[in-house]
Amino acid sequence: MASLHPTTAMLAHRHSPAPSVSASSLSWSASIAVSRIPPAPGLALHPPVPPPASGNRQSPVVCAAWTRRSRGEAEQRPNRKSWKQRTDMYMRPFLLNVFFSKRFVHAKVMHRGTSKVIAVATTNAKDLRLTLPSLVDDNACRTIGRLIAERSMDADVFALAYEPKKNERIEGKLGIVIDTIKEHGIIFV
């Protein structure tokens, strides 16, 4: 009984408490107790793997958890659109376009997905050109807003979207057109 096999002599150490984890090692692999029992001769199939050092990105554990796209992947698909850019066409399909020239006011409602024009109104139309005293004043903008609202409702479109251009404010003539469309029952989303 005096001579014990080396593996049975190590069993007493196996039931000792696990080594404490220091506060600086926060990886999950640092909390695993390292086995102190040496393998039986001839049974070691793989060389022992040293525990990963903290802050080392070359260890397989950290690489598996690293989910950020590399620069090479980002260069392969540089023009990937955002979620809003991909879904906005379906969430707000009808878009209002308003254009003011020196002589006329033009407005149209388009479907984004198919680029079909749903409703058009312009002060350059023959009936408006002959009846309106001025083709670019506030009264002309109210008339264009009313016509766009009526023609959109005739086409069963009751919700529009307007995307202002960069540094464009919704005021003045543009504000009059949009407010008139709202007054005649069209919802802006």
Residue (of 50, 38, 41) closest to 8 by Cα position: 38
Amino acid found at 105: V
> What was the pLDDT predicted at 46?
58
Q: Rounded to 5 degrees, what are φ and ψ at 176?
A: -65, -45
Predicted local confidence at residue 171, as pLDDT? 94
Q: Are 95 and 112 in contact (CB under 8 A)?
A: yes
Mean pLDDT, residues 89-100: 94
- Regarding predicted confidence, which is higher, 51 or 95? 95
Task: Report pLDDT for 57.
Answer: 54
Tokens encoding 83: 């979620």
Confidence of residue 188 (pLDDT cuts 50, 70, 90): very high
**pLDDT tens by residue, 25-75:** 566 556 666 666 666 666 555 555 665 555 555 555 555 555 565 666 666
CA distances from 143 to 19, 103, 105, 179, 183 (A): 82, 15, 10, 12, 12
Residues 6+ apart with CB under 8 A from 118: 94, 108, 109, 110, 111, 151, 152, 155, 157
Show the tokens assigned to 120. 């058009």
Domains of the chain from N-terminus onward: 83-188 (3.30.420.80)
CA distances for 77 relative to 71, 73, 74, 89, angstroms: 10, 7, 5, 21
| Segment 106-155, tens digit of pLDDT | 999 999 999 999 999 999 999 999 999 999 999 999 999 999 999 999 99
Which uninterrupted H or E stretch holds 188? Answer: strand 187-188
